[in-house]
Amino acid sequence: MKIDEIIKEKNDLMRKIKFKERAMDIISRELVNEKEGRRDISEELLKLKDENVKLKEELRLVNEKKIELQDDLKTAIEKRNKLQARLSQLEGLLREKALSFRELEEELSSIVEGKVSVSTERKRREKKISTSQKISTSQKATPIELPPIVVGREGNSSESSAKRKLEGEILAVNSKDNFVIIDLGESAGVEKGFRFNVVRDNDVIGTVEVIETRQEISAADIKTVTTPFKDGDRVVLQ
C-alpha cells in the first residue's frame, strides 16, 4: 500500500511540476513579449522625439522666412510710396510741359496765320517775361530771360561755330512777314546765321537764314525763292 501511495504521490508531484513548468514557460514568454513591447514603445518614443526636434527646426526656419518676407514687404511698400511720389512729380512736370507746348503751338499758329503782328507778339512775350521776373524777384529767385521771337534779321553767328550736315523740314510759312519755321533748333546745333537750301523733289527752290532759335525749332528769313514754299519742304544746311 505504501508503495502505491508513494507512486501516486510521485505522479501527482510530476504533474504539478509539469504544470508549473508550463506556467513558467507561459509567464516567461509573456515577460519577453512585454519587454519587446516596451522596447518597441521606447523606439517609437525616440522617433517621435526626433520628429518633434525636426518640426521645431522647420518652425524656426518658417519664422525666419516670415520675418524676411515682412522686411521685404516693408521695403517694397517704401519703394512703392517713393515711386508714387516720383510719379506725381513727373505728372506735374508733364502737365507743365503740355501747357507750354500748347502755348507755343498757339503762338506759332497766330504768327503763321498773320492774326498777331510780330510787334504785338514781341510785346506780349516781353510782358510775360516781365511778369515772370516780378514773380521770381518776389520769391528771391534769379530770373531767367528768354529772348523774344523776332522776324528782323539779327547779326550772323560766329564763323568759328562748327557746322555739320543738318536736314529738316518747314513746319510753317509766313509769307506776309517773309519767314518760315523749321523743325531744327538748338538741340540739333542750329545757330543764328545758319543758311539752309529749301529743297522739293531734289530741286533747290530757295534759301533761308536762321534769325531766331529755340530748343526744338527755329525761325528763318526767306532770302531767295523760285517756287513758293509750303509746309513739308525740306531744308538742308549749306
Model pLDDT for residues 159-216, shown as the tens digit of each residue = 444 455 799 999 999 999 999 999 999 999 999 999 999 999 999 999 999 999 999 9
Query: 4: pLDDT confidence band, cut at 50, 70 and 90?
Result: confident
| Dist. CA 222–CA 225, nearest whole Å | 7
CB 192 within 8 A of CB 212: yes
Mean pLDDT, residues 140-147 taken together = 42
The domain made up of 167-237 has a fold known as Thrombin, subunit H (2.40.10)
CA distance 3 to 10: 10
Higher pLDDT among residues 5 and 200, named by residue: 200
Domain positions in the chain are: 1-96, 167-237
What is the pTM (predicted TM-score) of this model? 0.37
Q: Using CA atoms, how far apart are residues 52 and 131, in angstroms rounded to an integer?
A: 79
Is 207:221 a contact under the CB 8 Å cutoff? no
